[in-house]
Structure formats: C-alpha cells, structure tokens
Structure 1
C-alpha cells in the first residue's frame, strides 16, 4: 500500500490510493481514468514542473498518442477541481505542468451518491463551462493573438530543423487578415524556455488568445501539434495534430490559421493555401539560420549569415528567402563595412538592389522582400520610394513591427517626423517586449523634433548601449546643453570603437542623410561632445 495522504485542491480532495476525487460534502466527482492517472502522477511530484513527454510516457507507456490526449486530460482535471484560473494545475510554456497541493486531514465522508443526479450535474456543468469559456465574437473589437515559439521534439540531426519557421509562418499568415491583431514575433518568442504560465504571458503581451505548439521532424515527415488557449483564464479552446510531408508545410500553416479563425468565430476571406515543396522548405530553413547569425551583429556572424543565405538560394532558386537575406546583409554592410570594406558603395548598392528585385519578382506578396527593397532605396537616399516599400510591407504583414521601425529614418529625412514618432509608437505597441534599437529610432526622431529630453529618456531604456546608441545619446544631451554628460558618453563610445572619428562617420552617412538640416545638426552635435575629428 502506498499510504499517501489525501491532498486538497481548492474545494475538492484527491485520494492518491483510490484515485477518488470528492467535493467538500464527500460526493464523488467524476474524472476519466486517464485524467485520474495524470492527476496522480502530478500529485506524486508536488510543485515540480513535469515535462509533457514524461507524463505521456508514464500514463500511456505502450501506446503512441498525440499531445491532444494529454491536453484533454489537463482540461478535464481543471474542470473537475474548478481550477479556471490555474491556481493549482499550472501550464509552464515550453516546459510542461505543475501541481500545487496541500495535505488534508482524513475524515469520515458520505459515500452515497445518486448516480442520475450526479450525471445531470456533470452535464449541466459541462454545458455551462462551454458556454462561459468559449470565445464570443465581438464585432467591435479584433482579438489580439500571440503565437509562441513551438517546442521542438525532434531528435538527432532533425532537432533544430527550421528553427521558428513554422510559428513565424503562422504569425505572418494570421496577421495578413484584418480580423486579428497579432503580436510581433520578437515579443511572443521571448518566452522560449521559460517556466511562465499562460496567464502571465497573456498579461505581458496584452493578448486575448495564445497559440502554442510543437513540431517533430523525422526524415521527410513532419508532425505539428497546436493548441489555442484563452489568455484570460487559461482554458484550452482547441487542439489538433497535423502529420504531413515536408513539402506540405505551407499548407499546414494555412490550415492552422483557418482552424484558429474558426474557433474565434471569424470568417476569413477565401484564399488558396500556400504551396511549396521540400526544396522551398529547405530554403526557408537556411534563411532562418542566416537570420539567427545576422541578428548576432558581429563581422564573423555576418559572414556566417551570408553562407546560410547562399545555401538558401542553392536549395531553391525559385524561393525568395535567400535573396532577401543577401539584400539585408548588403544593406547593413554599406554602413558597417564589416564584410566588404573594399567594395565601392555603388557596387554594394547594385548587388543589394538585384537581390531585392529578384525576391519581389519571385513573390510580390512576401512582405520581407519589400522591406529589403526599401532598405536599398534607403541606402541610395531614395526615401520617398523607401517609405512606399516599407508601408507596403506593413500592409502585407501588419504584425511586422520591423517594417514599421525601419521606415523611421526615411520619414524623418522627408520632414515627416510626427509620422515617424507615431509609427514607432505603433511598433512598440505591436511588439511589447521591445527590441532595443526601436528606442534608438524613437530617440533620434524626438531629437530632430526638438523633444530632446524625451529622446534622452527613450535611448536610456536600452539595457546595454552600443556604439550607435551612444551617438543618439550624445546628440540628445548636446541638444539639452548637457555638455559634461555628452563628453562622458563620447568617452564610452570611444571605449567601444577607439577608431571612431567624426569626419569618417560624416563621410559614411552623407549619402543616406540627404536631409541637409538633419545632417548638419547631427554632425555638429557629435563634434560638440569632443569626439575626435580625425
């Protein structure tokens, strides 16, 4: 005999020996056998975060089941113990579940039950719960959805395949419908590998609904499991599993989007699902590897990104991904000079334009291709054309806070500073776990608008300042006549880049800053801080 004491879960008691669940009056609360086993398994590990695979292996030891089976059991337990707010049975995204328990004294309880009455109560309760927890369409408000990074249950060489490609594809396609507001990937993916419950994530992202899932690649086959969760109370609304060949990935993404829409009571305009093949999927895989390297932001990582982008083009020359990546690296290196320091600026521009135009010709609806083309317009000082491209990208993917943020400088240089500030504020709203460079953009917009104290406040929101952040800080300080603080910031900039000179920087940015007022003020304020002229 195990002789484990009964545990209290809110208003009910659970006996691990008999696996009976009873209310405070001693009446038995019905719970399916597998749900009882899941509860018993968690109760034996109070307060511990237990992985989904560990629970499934214990409860279904010789049977292959999908996560949907476990999800149904979790929902069944929460209904039985009245744990609508997840006070006891908690979901830890990317980790599993935990059960908070307390021991209860053993007392004599009534054991008589009128079966018909219990069944009637259960039926009424189930109906009431469905009525109260199912999403109700609100015609005057769009539901705000956050798609979290998917867990990777692949093994061996298949692990890490495609990175966040599936979840990002769902985000992009969901965002293309005006029926939804979709949180930007930078924010929703920031909870990866954190034991944070759904309600807290939803609160931080201001999300009504959370989409979480997992992927498992085995050779040329792919299994994707997805769940839709009410962000306000943590209840599971819908779950499904998709098994497909790799070439059917884009169709799976479209099916997920339509299933989510159906559950939220939204009728989407019909559009054919994206088509693809294994070559296109492999190109997307290399594209995401390249993006990961590019975002590291070092000379070596830029070279690694180029290698991945070239592999993406080789994998499928008829997919836009690799061309977008190459255009992005070239755009950045025009300013950084890390990879091609000896290549003339005009030649880098030409190469970047060719890559971006190729991406658009392959897929004119791919928002990232328009961002890439906008970047090249920007580098050429063609700011009106850049704005058109960036805003086209926002139209194609309204969740792309990146498209909003990169429009900032072109709007400033065309004397549309108020629009730049408004768009940056919108980008921060869409992306509440805000990337630091957004604050750099916003600070420079404030500076040019003469709102320099706000500009200083914005740039100081960055957790760690980089060289270009110190430049933004310096001009905002000089603008406020805080010269000692500006001189101190200049010394910190030189610690990061001892070779920095005002004249070299001025020459490098001259072709981009074709707003003469902005350019002259910028260079003058940097000089006023005492930075070396060169």
Structure 2
C-alpha cells in the first residue's frame, strides 16, 4: 500500500473506535497488513491528521506512551491533566462528539485525496523554467441544447490535469477562453498571455458519436507541434480527454502513468447538465439564477446519480441560498445543512474533483468551521492549481479570521493566474479593502465590475456606509433587499457571529448596515 493510501485508512481506524486505546501494533497491522514499515510512517500519519484538525495540543488524537493512540470524540475525555487548557480550546472548536467523528472521516478523505493527487506529479522545477501553456476554448460543431458545454469541458479538464503536475504553468480558463469565436493569431495570443504553447481544437457530437480534433502550437512562431483526431462513442468523452492530456504532457515535457477512465455516457450527460446550470449562475448571480442552477443540477443527478456533478451543483444552490436569499428552506442553518449533505456526497463520488472540495470548504467556512475550511481549501487548490476561483474563495475565510493581508495576496495571486479575471474578483477585493478600512479603494474596486449583481449590493452598501454616503448606502441596500426582503440586523448577527471572527469586524459591519437602513 502506498503512503497516500495509508492516510485515510489510519484516520478511519481511529474514527471507528472512538474513546478506545488503539495500540501501535494494531494500527500498523490494520493500515499496512502486508508491508514492513517503521514507526516513522505511523507517526507521520498521526501528525497529518492532527494538523488538518487543528489539534495542536494533541487532545483530539491523544498519544498514550507505550500504549498507543486514542481518538477523543469529546476532547474533555483526554486523560492528561496537563492538557486542560488545550482541552478547553479544543472543546470550543469541536464541541460535539458527532461533529468530531464526521470531521476526522472527512479529513481522512481530504488527506488521501491530496496525497493521491501527488502520485503522478513530476519533480517541480523553477517557475521560470516551466513551459507556459494556454488551452483555448474548443470550437463546438454540434447542434442541440448542449452545444458549447462539452467542448468547454474538454478544455477545462485538460487545464486542470496539466496544472496539477507542477511541470507547467497553465493559464486559467477565463483568460484563455476569451479568444472564443475570434480569428486566431497564434503569436499575438502568445504575447498577450505570455505562453510558450497553445492548444486549440474542436468537438462535435453527432447522435451517440463524438469527434474531437486537437493541435498543439508553438506560440512563439506559430508552428505545429502535434495534431490528432479522435472519433469515438460519446461515453469515451473522458477517455479522449485523458489521451490528449497524456500526449500534451509527453510533447511538452513530462509523462503521466495512470489508468484510463472507463467509458460512461451517463456521466457525460450529467456533466453537460451541471455545466449548463453553472453557466446560468455565472451569468446571473441572483435568486432566479440560483433556481436555474438547481433545476439543471437535479437533471444531472437524474442522468447519473453515481457521478459527482449534480451534487456539486445542488450544494452550491443551498449554500448560495443560505448566505444570500433564504428562499429554498427559509432557514439559513437548514439550507447550509442540506448543502453539506450534497457536498459530502460529491466528495464520496468524486474524491479527485477539486470542485467537490471547493464547495465543501465554502460550507465549512459558512458554518464557522474555519480550520476545516482552510484545510479543505488547501486540498482543492492542490487538486486544481489553475483555478483562481478557489484561491479567491479561500481568501474569504482569511478575511473572516482577520488575516486581511494574506487574503489580498491570494486575490492578487489569482489575478496572476487569470490575467482577464472575472468581475467578482473585484467584489472580493472590495470586501478585503473594506476590512482593511481603506473604503475609498474598496469602492474603486467594486466600480471596476462591469455590472454589479444584486448579491454584491449588500457589500456596496457597507462600503458607502463606511464612507458616510448614506443616500448611496440606502440605494444599494434596497437593490439587495429586492431578492432578500426579510433580511435584518438580527438575522445577519445570527448568521455570521460564528464566522465573522476578526475582532470588532461584525459589530462594525452591523453598524454600517444600520446606517444603510437595514431594520433591526
């Protein structure tokens, strides 16, 4: 068994026997039954679990000298009397027995996923030596309602897999896709994106058949490096995607050794519906857009209940509703609970899908589980380093806990990955600068958005209030309340008191909301 595979098993053995002392021999036999390993391997497993759980005092996973380890699902069970102060801190963070057991199992999956992603990574090279590559949006020659979605999925999957290798610097999809439906000047695009290679291609779905063409170009002189055409059954979508990835890796400078995915037409249908729903919420971040995302996500689950895509979409719909609109459950806590259930299902079905971990991290943060949120974001970032959206969402957790400068750094890092970054990065930067009490700069950031969506008007109201612009604050808040008419000071306090943890930050925000006219 590889060390990667041992991590989740080590965690699961402890989780299955909460409160019991598990000897070193028993753990090693359960985790490495057919392999000789030293005590160092077990020590490393325990250290990784503690790190992910934030168990710095070793009261959740307790060491009993010469006896073994014990998982204290209630930290007050810890036997060491000198750990009392640490126990109180741990009880604050993990107060419920059931939560601890769920947390350690989820962290086991996260750790396993993280290290599993390392199996095929090449040895990192200096960033200045990395080939830089941009995957352009594939042309779609298909007809029908899903036109455009599968072609984007081909390119997105290639971007994600190449970025994981640390052998390439891969441009984010938002920037490389902006050249869609434009005459292609290879050298111009190469100069604008600062890349060495471009991949372009097309996809055509005809009944149950799939035709994909792809060509790799040298961005410096426009010469062809490689080209191929794939004519397969629709269920071979992921197989074709993987074969292109392997060929690119081989041509640009690495090799990938892993099993080819299985043919699965139902999974392709589920992916198509999920991408349709995602496009709706990206286009219109509102209660109406969220409802369309839910409808397409349900269709994705119906098409393939055994793939993660529909569950990811459903998790986002309930998370969005919990934070912004309160329409589906009319109860933010219940909506967030439903979101967590869908996200956990997505991780179970798609443990190597960064989007599964991304939404789970977001839900952890909304629930005030900040240590778990940051650990889960680290997994998502490792699984897809080319996704700037994950970086920017992780910056939100840093803002909640008062690490403002780090958050601003992550947003700037995301902008570097995505030179033509989307509007909502300016929204997040507006929040970051608001937290820094640089509200003039925060307003400038918000005004860089081409269109401020309804959900962002609450932030805009807070920034105007910070600047003392009461008429503008009231006007902005009124736009937000059109989609969330029942919002109030008391609701916001209840919703955020467990997440908005930077000293004085919540009181300052609520005072600005009062100034903008939000009722008590």
TM-score, shorter chain, exceeding 0.5:
yes
Question: Aligned partners of 1:488, 1:246: CA distance in 2, in Å?
Answer: 53
Query: Please, which of 279, 282, 287 is the counterpart of residue 292 of structure 1?
Result: 279
Contact kept? 2:273, 2:299, Cα under 8 Å: yes
Q: What SS does the aligned partner of 2:210 have?
A: strand
Question: Aligned partners of 1:233, 1:454: CA distance in 2, in Å?
Answer: 41
Query: Please, which of 449, 453, 478 is the counterpart of residue 494 of structure 1?
Result: 478
After superposition, the Cα gap between the structure-2 partners of 1:202 and 1:522, relative to the gap in structure 1 and judged at 3 Å, is farther
1:302 corresponds to: 290
Query: Please, which of 171, 176, 197 is the counterpart of residue 209 of structure 1?
Result: 197
1:117 corresponds to: none
Cα deviation code 1:15-55 (max 9, x no counterpart): xxxxxxxxxxxxxxxxxxxxxxxxxxxxxxxxxxxxxxxxx
Q: Highest Rg: 1 or 2?
A: 1
Question: Aligned partners of 1:495, 1:139: CA distance in 2, in Å?
Answer: 45
Contact kept? 2:318, 2:336, Cα under 8 Å: yes
Matched, 1:465 2:452: yes
Matched, 1:240 2:225: no
RMSD: 2.6
Structure 1: which 4+ aligned runs deviate by more than 6 Å? none
Count of aligned pairs: 392
Matched, 1:422 2:406: no
Cα displacement (A) at 1:355? 0.9
Q: What SS does the aligned partner of 1:222 have?
A: strand
Contact kept? 2:326, 2:332, Cα under 8 Å: no
Question: Aligned partners of 1:154, 1:166: CA distance in 2, in Å?
Answer: 14
2:261 corresponds to: 274
1:483 corresponds to: 468
Query: Please, which of 283, 303, 311 is the counterpart of residue 299 of structure 2?
Result: 311
Q: What pairs with 1:5-404 in structure 2 (closer than 5 Å)? A: 140-155=128-143, 159-160=147-148, 162=150, 164-195=152-183, 197-264=185-252, 266-295=253-282, 296-337=284-325, 339-340=327-328, 342=330, 344-404=331-391
Question: Aligned partners of 1:305, 1:527: CA distance in 2, in Å?
Answer: 32
Question: Aligned partners of 1:418, 1:269: CA distance in 2, in Å?
Answer: 37
Question: Aligned partners of 1:368, 1:140: CA distance in 2, in Å?
Answer: 28
Query: Please, which of 422, 425, 433 is the counterpart of residue 435 of structure 1?
Result: 422
After superposition, the Cα gap between the structure-2 partners of 1:500 and 1:199, relative to the gap in structure 1 and judged at 3 Å, is farther
1:450 corresponds to: 437
2:40 corresponds to: none
2:74 corresponds to: none
Question: Aligned partners of 1:283, 1:381: CA distance in 2, in Å?
Answer: 31
After superposition, the Cα gap between the structure-2 partners of 1:456 and 1:294, relative to the gap in structure 1 and judged at 3 Å, is closer
Q: Any stretches of 5+ residues in structure 1 without a counterpart?
A: 1-136
Contact kept? 2:332, 2:495, Cα under 8 Å: no
Greater helix proportion: 2
TM-score, normalised to structure 1, is: 0.68
Q: What SS does the aligned partner of 1:215 have?
A: strand
Cα displacement (A) at 1:180? 0.9
Q: Which moved more, 1:448-457 or 1:374-383?
A: 448-457
Cα deviation code 1:59-95 (max 9, x no counterpart): xxxxxxxxxxxxxxxxxxxxxxxxxxxxxxxxxxxxx
1:71 corresponds to: none
Question: Aligned partners of 1:158, 1:444: CA distance in 2, in Å?
Answer: 36
1:409 corresponds to: 396
Cα displacement (A) at 1:493? 4.2
After superposition, the Cα gap between the structure-2 partners of 1:159 and 1:425, relative to the gap in structure 1 and judged at 3 Å, is closer
